[in-house]
Structure 1
Amino acid sequence: NICREQAEQVAKCIINTVSEPFLLENLELYTTPSIGLSMYPDDGDNKEKLIKNAEAAMYLAKEYGRNNYQFYTKELELAKIQKLRLETELRKALDNAQLMLYYQPKINIKTDEIIGMEALIRWNHPELGIVPPNQFIPLAEETGLIVSIGEWVIRTACRQTKILQNEGHKNLSVAVNISLRQFMQNNLHEVIQSILEETGLSPKYLELEITESMALDVDYTIRALNRIKSLGVSISIDDFGTGYSSLSYLSQLPIDRLKIDQSFVRNLNSRNQAIIKTIIDMAYNMNIEVIAEGVETAEHVKFLREHKCTEAQGYYFSKPLPTYEFDKFLLHRIESV
């Protein structure tokens, strides 16, 4: 005999209480509760169904950043069904050749030359059309499909880059994003080595991008990156400035390039300008290359040039393009330069 408003007040009280900091061996710790609620009889007429639906609502609360509560809704059930459907279809996507790579060029803004490209996956769904990665990569991570998908991305990117090199773009390199699950695979070194041998792409033209959060286990990260680096490939940290980097471990990692996160570039207020300048200065002092993402205006390019950032990518130069369009872009760019 409790109404929705009363349940809401109970949830708020629990969150406020549990969120209070507490001491454990002289350390101040915090917890971030996620609460799911289901109401009898609207959301179920027995405890099993009510608990199941409350659990679904709890996972939604986790997706919304934790430290909140969510009520079960019929829409949530539909979303759950859609997620299961998407997972089933994603498992078939590789076998049915529905995955494809788009490429976004990386530009030397001093010479205006193309110095490389970043491979970005898309899902060409037979009914939904082009599905962007933020709608299926988290699902691939959750289910473990990201390992086989990630291997396909590396192989396809290396093969297509080699084809473009054979067509005359001899020094073109490609950057590929590595997921956390991929990075934790013990055989990643062997997989990359096998792909390079299979496709004939020289290791110096392959760059692997990891995120700052993947480097939290410093000892493992250093060992894994040194093994991969021994192949001759390059390593970059993607979305730099948004994670948990510290100079102490950054100096230990075999990093070739830092990618300034696009959020700093797109909003060039005084604080973000200071962050960008600091990253550029730090990178050059550590003999690390730096590239800016999210470059969309001439103002962005001007600022980066003035502060000695020579590499950039973003919609100012080109949106991500499928292979056949990227080939045309390369030819047009060479003619214009």
Structure 2
Amino acid sequence: MAHDRPLADRAAQPRRRARVTAADVAEAAGVSRSAVSRAFTPGAYLDADKRQLVLKTAMDLGYRPNALAASLQGAATDLVGVVVGELSNPYDSEWLAALVSALNASGKWPIVLGGQEEGLDDSVTSILSYPLDALIVRGGSLGEALIDNCTKLNIPVIFSGRVISHPAIDCIACRNHMGMVQAVTLLLESGRRRIGYIGGPPTLSSEQERLAGVIERLAEAGLTLAAQVTSDYSFDGGQSAMRTLLQDTSPDAVVCANDAMALGALSFARNCRNLTVPEDLAIIGFDDIAMAAWAEFNLTTVRNPLAKTVDEVLRLLEGRLANPQKPGEVVMIDPDLVKRGTH
């Protein structure tokens, strides 16, 4: 332990260098503290030569303004909280990567928290300790008390992947029901009649909407699900679910609630049951993650448009920051059916 080391050893340990302050820059440049502040404030008046002197001195000393300290005076910090679910879900990982890139390009700096929905409120409560300009939540839900807390703190909240009924919250989501109707219609048009379904956690609104789309489209054709298995949106979960589904039934098609499970199901069907896809069994996923297009999989799927979703999140964010009092906006994104080689 550190306190068991001899005093001489502890004294030899390097100490963290103190952060250079605005006062240090002011003294070195021979200007006032307020001149340093104005030099780093866009639009603030300061003589051009004096601004250049302050900026050069700051660079020489290694000084940057403290955004957290600036927030105490009511200034924007450009910090945006991003709460995302299971990062093992490829779609969520791709969404996060695209969002972080877009936020950085717009001068925003994300603080990212990942985790299961069960601990979402605790995660968000902890992130509210930071002076956030906004909070973006991918999927999941927040308790009413926590949403009210964000409102009191003047922290705008944007939900991606779920619609929340609240007058001050902006939401963006895919038309999941429509996407599954498209998928089942494609299977019906190709002559499939014994259609099974591998779904995700039933508490998630996206899962409920996708399952409803499958059931309703089958009902229109006078059919019901040949089999239904619930899993966890993962590749391994898709493999396990396909094993269970094929134990008691012989479907001619399987619709999966996301691509990760569809790829797992595809792998099990081919490698463990020696089924030929799509001749013996058609498989359709949902999301259109990057792996779905790999030649090894060539998965037919429903695209949950990622680039458009991120663009809309940024638009909602900018609109909310520009007008904090505007009514909440709900944006619904239409899915696209991507026909590849598994249907």
TM-score by length of 2: 0.30
Larger strand percent:
1
TM-score by length of 1: 0.30
